Every structure is written in C-alpha cells, then in structure tokens.
Amino acid sequence: MITDYLQPNVSNEDAVSLIKEKIRTQTPFSFTRFGDGEIHIINKNGYERLEKSMCKNWGYVYPDEVNFAYDEIGTSLKNAFTKTDLIGLMDKNCKIINLNYKAEHWSLKKELITSWGIDHENLQICDHMLCRQPFFGSASSFKEILQGKSLNIITPYVKRMEERELSNLLESDVTFTHNPMNTNFKNRSEVLKTFDKIKSDVVIMGVGLFKDYTVILKEEFGKVALDMGATMDAWSGIKSRVWFGKGGKQEYLMID
C-alpha cells in the first residue's frame, strides 16, 4: 500500500521559501534528491540493466562486484538520506512529467527508515522534481532564489557552463568545480579534496549518485548545498531528458 511508503509532506512553495531563507541567512543546509535509481540501489533490487550501468559508470566490475557496489553506494546514499535537511522524493501527482507512479520504484518504506533509527514523521520531504519546476529550475527563477549570493557549480560540464555566461544570467559571482565524467566511488577523493577551495555561499550540482556531496558540503564546509540533478544538464545545453526538448514539459530549463 502506498501509505506504507514515504510521501512528500512539504509543498513546493514551502520548500522554496525554506531554501531562500537558508540562502539569505547563509545557514548551512542541504537539499538532496532520490530518484528511482537511488531507491533500487538502497533496496538492492535493481534490474539487470541498472546493475550493469551502476557497475560500468561507478567503478565496479560486473557481475563480480555487484553486491559490493550495492553495499558501498548504498551506504553513501543512506548517509546522504539520513543527514540531509530536505529530501526530494517523487510526488505521485507531479504535473511536469509523464509518469506511471509506483511507490516501490520512487519511495522507501517507512519501516526501513524506522530500522535506521529515524522517526520518519520528522523528515522534511518535498517533490523530487522541485528543481525542475519553472519557479525554481529556470535561470530567471533561480536568480531570485539565489538573491545575489555567490554560487559554485559542481559539474562535469565546466566548459559548456562557462559558455552560458551564468554570472550575467544569475547576477551573481559564479565559479565552477570540475567533477570529471570518469569520477567514481574509487577515485572521487581527488574531487573531494577540491571542496575546501570553494569560497561561494551556495553550491549546486548534478553529479549522479554522489548524493552525499550535499551533506559533506553542509557539514564540513558550512555551505548551502543543493542537488539539482539533470537540471544542470539543461543549463549546459544538453537535452538529457525527453522533457527538455522543444515543446517538452520542461523546455524552460534549457539554456542554449
């Protein structure tokens, strides 16, 4: 039953207000999103294509290291889930995608969260698609959310991002931290070493399964850290989701 699973309990409006207030006051804060891939990894029940992709993209040998990948990545995801301030899970009523929602693919059972020693009633959960809403993910809207604070973007697409002249679009000092495409769970220490060089007030990112970047940046470096997911692809001019294409439900995210 869907009532056995976590569901968003913070409205989009309240989530935006919360984030804006944390940015305005420069209060350390993290927003972390968990999609179907993360859910399957936490539950260790991914289908074969997901397991092959997980191993190929994140530094493991398939099929020999599948269980090790589940354990290592799952631990990282659990750490991010339990320490983040605001969790993003898919809203079954989300209007900006075409989705056949099934809770077992997009959420976690309340009993699992309880087994982690967490009171699920105290979790703040908003829509997974918050950062793709027009009032958040478009450059003009994010400018208002940022409120002129300095921004660092962690991305594999630094060159493409630089070409977008985001400092002008966002009316902010924008810098970049490179997270190379070949970064995985075995070599990411080189990227983590660069975090102490980030001087910006706010950090946003689209870095796949590295969900714990948000809590590391909050807890160790005092940042407001926001997981923006594939919105960062759109800002880079990459149509990585069908909804980003011309006439798509999320076309407004694209920065060409």
* H or E element at residue 9: none
* First and final C-alpha spacing in the chain: 43
HSE-CB at 45 with a 13 A cutoff on CA atoms is 7
Look up the domain containing 236 and give its range. Answer: 2-253
- For residue 201, the model assigns a pLDDT of 97
Task: Encode pLDDT of 162-195 as tens digits.
Answer: 999 999 999 999 999 999 999 999 999 999 999 9
Is residue 215 within 8 A of residue 190, CB to CB? The reply is no
Please give the mean pLDDT across all residues of the chain: 97
Angle between helices 36-43 and 48-58 (to 10 degrees): 100
DSSP 121: G
Taking a C-beta distance cutoff of 8 angstroms, is the pair 215, 30 a contact? yes
Model's pTM, two decimal places? 0.97
At residue 251, the pLDDT reads 97
pLDDT score, position 75: 97
Q: Based on the structure, what is the number of domains in the chain?
A: 1
- Residue 197: predicted pLDDT: 98
Give the residue-averaged pLDDT of 127-156: 98
The pLDDT of residue 3: 92
Residue 1 has pLDDT above 90, yes or no: no
pLDDT at 256: 80
What does the pLDDT read at residue 2?
87
* Residue 221: pLDDT band with limits 50, 70, 90: very high
| Distance from C-alpha of 164 to C-alpha of 199, rounded to nearest angstrom | 21
Q: How confident is the model at residue 20, as a pLDDT?
A: 98
